[in-house]
Amino acid sequence: MGKAEVVQATKPMRTLRDSDVVLGLESSCDETAAALLRADGTILAEAVLSQLEDHTPYGGVVPEIAARAHLAHLPGLVRRVMAEAGIGPDGLAAVAATAGPGLIGGLIVGATLGKGMALAAGVPFLGINHLEGHALTPRLPGVFKAGVHAGGLEFPYLLMLLSGGHCQCVRVEGVGRHVRLGTTLDDAVGEAFDKSAKLLGLPWPGGPHLERLAASGDPARFALPRPLMGRPGCDFSFSGLKTAVANIVAKGLDERGRADVAAGFQAAVAATLADRAAHALAMAPDATALVVAGGVAANKGIRSALAAVAAKAGLPLVAPPIRLCTDNAVMIAWAGIERLRLGLTDELDQAPRPRWPLAELSVTAV
């Protein structure tokens, strides 16, 4: 694995207590979010502001618009969650903000606000890897259904990170310890959903609209490919599937045909992800669970397919509540708490990183 230096903040962190409160900030793409968590995992307050209306006219996220929206709204969200929780700056034990990967403008906004608040309050700052935020969410106590790891998931587990920008199989061994077993060779799965939805004339973001259209369709009508299915390893490929959808659409479709294509596309993706998950579990035989996270984890058909794979392997499928599948600040605050427990903090001159692979994280405190 690569290494990245992790150093202490200006003011050393004392031993973390369960009652300590951490502020989390998320601004890596098109959701602006803030949250307050106690170190025992209790969510005191959370807020997410979607920029959907800002970007919909352009059919995708516009980085400059996203950055300006974060700048305009993030301070207000921070004031909102702190007022809701009845906590002032002097009640914070640390501030955690997304430092990458993501759109550089938004990362700068969130990280700069986080550093300023940490400096003013005299508490440590943590620059959090957004992907690790998703990866550690299953360890947040009490957020899952009763009886399914309500106390937080134990390492190691297999994570399928599925979103518009990422598609990876990762063996999560610990905080800052992640082994990527497979990744996409072309489009991310969420990107494939959005592009196929656009071909079908659906609004952006396409994933939820395509899922709704698919509910009334026949998944067996069109023979769509299952890229890489059955092949060794757990890499992904979705460009061929997207091209197959484009070829069918080009021949003309009525409303029923559109629904059938949507259903076929979703079924193909679910089958492919299930196959890749089975291969990944064979590569991580000591996994305690199969975890699915990221925006695509909200798709019910995909959850069902992955649940069947996990059950066959004798493991639970652990999926965050829908609100914690997409980008949020709860996961950032929790990742900060996990790192604080290991004595890890960051200097205020830490630079945001638009590209920041999980393999470049470190757990070495100085």
pLDDT by residue (tens digit) across 105-117? 999 999 999 999 9
- Go through 182-211 and write b for each residue having 16 or more CB atoms within 10 A of its CB, e for each that does not: bbbeebbbbbbbbbbbbbbebebbbbebbb
Q: What is the pLDDT of residue 320?
A: 85
Mean pLDDT of the chain: 91
Same structural domain, 190 and 339: no
Annotated binding residue at 178?
no
Q: Say yes or no: 92 and 192 in one domain.
A: no
206 annotated as ligand-binding: no
51 lies in the same domain as 73: yes
Report pLDDT digits (tens) over 267-293. 999 999 999 999 999 999 999 999 999
Are 52 and 193 in the same domain?
no
For residue 255, say whether it is annotated as part of any ligand binding site: no
To the question of whether residue 70 is assigned a binding role by annotation, the answer is no
Residue 16 inside a domain? The answer is no
Same domain, 77 and 165: no
- Higher-confidence position of 27 and 319: 27
164 in a known ligand binding site? yes
The answer on whether 207 is annotated among ligand-binding residues is: yes
Dihedral sign (CA 67, 71, 76, 80): positive
Question: What's the CATH code of the domain at 244?
Answer: 3.30.420.40
Q: Are residues 218 and 280 in the same domain?
A: yes
Same domain, 238 and 315: yes
Instruction: State the DSSP code for 236.
Output: B
| pLDDT-wise least confident of 27-41, 50-64, 201-215, 254-268 | 50-64
Whether pLDDT at 42 is above 90: yes
Q: In terms of domains, do 236 and 352 share one?
A: no
Q: Is 275 annotated as a binding residue?
A: no
pLDDT at 13: 59
Mean pLDDT (whole number) for 65-80: 96
The reply, when asked if residue 328 is annotated as ligand binding, is: no
pLDDT for position 145? 53
211 is in an annotated binding site: yes
Assign 54 a pLDDT band (cuts: 50, 70, 90): confident
Predicted confidence (pLDDT) at residue 95 exceeds the cutoff of 90? yes
pLDDT digits (tens, 9 = 90+) for 321-349: 888 888 999 999 999 999 999 999 999 99
| 342 annotated to bind ligand | no
* Confidence category of residue 211, pLDDT binned at 50, 70, 90: very high
- Do 91 and 21 form a contact (C-beta atoms < 8 A)? yes
Is there a binding annotation on residue 247? no
Per-residue model confidence (pLDDT) at position 57: 83
Task: Residue 237: give the domain boundaries.
Answer: 157-319
- List the one residue out of 55, 9, 2 whose CA is nearest residue 29: 55
According to the annotation, is 134 in a ligand binding site? yes
Q: What is the pLDDT of residue 98?
A: 98
- Tell whether 187 and 240 lie within a shared domain: yes
Q: Is residue 340 domain-shared with residue 311, that is, in the same domain?
A: no
Q: Is the pLDDT of residue 73 over 90?
A: yes
Q: Report the number of distinct structural domains present in the chain.
A: 2
Report pTM: 0.91
pLDDT for position 143: 67
- Are residues 312 and 177 both part of a single domain? yes
Pairing verdict, β 21-26 and 43-50:
unpaired
The Cα–Cα gap between 115 and 120 comes to 9
Binned at pLDDT 50, 70 and 90, residue 144 comes out as low
